[in-house]
Amino acid sequence: CNPVTCVGAGVPSNTTLFDRSKEAIPGGVNSSIRAFKAVGGEPYVVARASGATITDVEGTTYLDLVQSYGAVILGHAHPAVTAAITDAVGAGTSYGAPTPREMKLAEEISSRMPSCERVRLMNSGTEATSTAIRLARGVTGRDRIVTFAGNFHGATDALLVAGGSGVATLGLPGTAGVPNASVAETMVVPYNVVPQLDDKVAAVIVEPVAANMGVVAPVAGFLEGLRAECDRVGALLIFDEVITGFRLAPGGAQAKYDIRADITCFGKVIGGGLPIGAVGGRRDIMEHLSPLGPVFHAGTLSGNPLATAAGLAALDTLTPDVYIELLARVRHLSSKMRDACASAGFEASFPVVGTLFGIVCGDAASDAVTNFDEAKRTDEAAYSRFFQAMLAEGVALAPGAYEAMFVGLGHTDEVIDRIAEATFRAATT
């Protein structure tokens, strides 16, 4: 059905639709941060999107720096992805049996990221991190997991402690509904400090570049130190590359920093904007997964024909030249936004790590952020004002001060110029 008129006669407003949503869906949203609770106001209800733009049901078009929180890297409705999905859909949408495309996508991931000798596909980043943890515990016979404050690994019970992204935005220490037993073996330590491990630790899970407390780079020696410390005590190193995988570099963060993870989690980019997740790793580790080994994993829609078609089209388009282009665009946009805020007298910094960038508002903007405590010094109220002013100027940012901004192939020079002009006007208000 037509995405706008399917809900009834006439063209509804954002408000009437969102009010109606709230009567059907808790909070009117299917992912908490979308509700605008942190920044105030009500969300625009999306009708369609194309390239760098997103258009709501009232016909207002925004320049979009959310890009489905990084799932869409080629821009919305990229012709290669749309054609791949269209091509695939007539042959059925899910079978419950192996397919050539899922094999091809696993091969593509392995060839771009050599630490992933085997790859298991699933349906979300959350499923990837929870499977990775189960796998690490199953392989090592140990229970303890070490995680970093301000990192976010999705809605995985064992990892919902001092998390970034929506957990940080909503000011939650964790979440209700997670029994103490689920987090009893989770140790939270500060980002960018190599913890001393012991032989109780099954795995260390880390965002190799943190992108859910703003964008925070690993300090020199941090990832190397984690690798060495894991090796010292026989723990596994899990890189959560759900954001960084195939966005930061052709081989993800582990290529950029030249570190081999034992297990890697994926999502977002590898599905070309369709629901997907994956766990990859060393063959001897991955073969602990069922049916070869004792660690159970299964999923009705895993390796979905449409998601794998879209993911393959996205990865095919992501040639090394595209990363060079994305790098240039991120540098260009972040420096223009930095200059615009500086000339408007609005205190903000725009930390850049490769093709990722974030924003820090207020006094904290003058210092480089290295961990969650420092990230939390961002002025959330100033971000909310900036967010609303940008929206009024036609630019959609994520409705939370701790999210990254996502630039893709849709963000042409002209789009970047328009965002920079909007930034100046928004920063002045």
Among 55, 124, 131, 186, binds ligand PLP (CB under 6 A): 124
Q: How far is the CB of 295 from ligand PLP (least distance, A)?
A: 19
Q: Which amino acid is at 67?
A: Q
Residue 4 Cβ vs ligand PLP, minimum distance, rounded to whole Å: 26
Q: Does the footprint of ligand PLP cover residue 129 (CB under 6 A)?
A: yes
Q: Does the footprint of ligand PLP cover residue 126 (CB under 6 A)?
A: yes
Rg over alpha carbons for the chain, rounded to the nearest Å, is: 21
Selected range binding ligand PLP among 22-30, 230-238, 240-248, 415-423, rule: CB under 6 A: 240-248
Half-sphere exposure of 124 (CA within 13 A, CB side): 9
Q: Is 150 in the site for ligand PLP (CB under 6 A)?
A: no
Using the rule CB under 6 A, give the single segment among 147-155, 348-356, 371-379, 411-419 that binds ligand PLP. 147-155
Shortest Å, Cβ 397 to ligand PLP: 16
Residues numbered 66 to 95 that lie near ligand PLP (CB under 6 A) are 69
Q: Which residue is nearest to ligand PLP (CB)?
A: 125
For ligand PLP, the closer CB: 31 or 428: 31
Shortest spacing between CB 109 and ligand PLP, in angstroms: 16
Instruction: Determine if 264 is a binding residue for ligand PLP (CB under 6 A).
Output: no
Closest CB to ligand PLP among residues 130, 388:
130
Minimum distance from residue 69 beta carbon to ligand PLP (Å): 5
The binding track of 152-171 with respect to ligand PLP, each residue x by CB under 6 A or -, is xxx----------x------
Question: Which member of 102, 240, 374, 393 binds ligand PLP (CB under 6 A)?
Answer: 240
Nearer to ligand PLP, 352 or 426 (CB): 352
Nearer to ligand PLP, 67 or 126 (CB): 126
Residues 304-363 that bind ligand PLP (CB under 6 A): none
Bridge partners, 395 (sequence order) = 63
Residue with Cβ nearer ligand PLP (152 or 346): 152
Q: Does residue number 207 form part of the binding site for ligand PLP (CB under 6 A)?
A: yes
Position 247 contacts ligand PLP (CB under 6 A): no
* Cα-based distances in Å from 429 to 21, 106, 158, 231, 361: 32, 49, 42, 52, 15
Interacting stretch for ligand PLP, rule CB under 6 A, among 46-54, 148-156, 176-184, 408-416?
A: 148-156
**Interface segment toward ligand PLP; rule CB under 6 A; list 96-104, 149-157, 295-303, 368-376:** 149-157
Which part of the chain contacts ligand PLP (CB under 6 A), choosing from 86-94, 119-127, 181-189, 393-401?
119-127
Instruction: Give min distance, CB of 274 to ligand PLP, in A.
Output: 11
Residue 266 interacts with ligand PLP (CB under 6 A): yes or no: no
Of 151-159, 170-178, 375-383, 414-422, which part binds ligand PLP (CB under 6 A)? 151-159
407: which 2 tokens?
């630039």
3-class DSSP string for the chain: CCCCHHHCCCCCCHHHHHHHHHHHCHHHCCCHHHHCCCCCCCCCCEEEEEECEEEECCCCEEEECCHHHHCCCCCECCHHHHHHHHHHHCCCCCCCCCCHHHHHHHHHHHHHCCCCCEEEEECCHHHHHHHHHHHHHHHHCCCEEEEECCCCCCCCHHHCCCCCHHHHHCCCCCCCCCCHHHHCCEEEECCCCCCCCCCCEEEEEECCCECCCCCECCCCCHHHHHHHHHHHHCCEEEEECCCCCCCCCCCHHHHHCCCCCCEEEECHHHHCCCCCEEEEECHHHHCCECCCCCECCCCCCCCCHHHHHHHHHHHHHCCHHHHHHHHHHHHHHHHHHHHHHHHHCCCEECCEECCEECCEECHHHHCCCCCHHHHCCCCHHHHHHHHHHHHHCCEECCCCCCCCECCCCCCCHHHHHHHHHHHHHHHHC
Residues 118 and 233: their CA atoms lie apart, in Å, by 24
How far is it between the farthest Cα atoms of the chain? 65
Residues of this chain that interact with ligand PLP (CB under 6 A) are 69, 124-126, 129, 152-154, 165, 207, 212, 240, 242-243, 267, 277
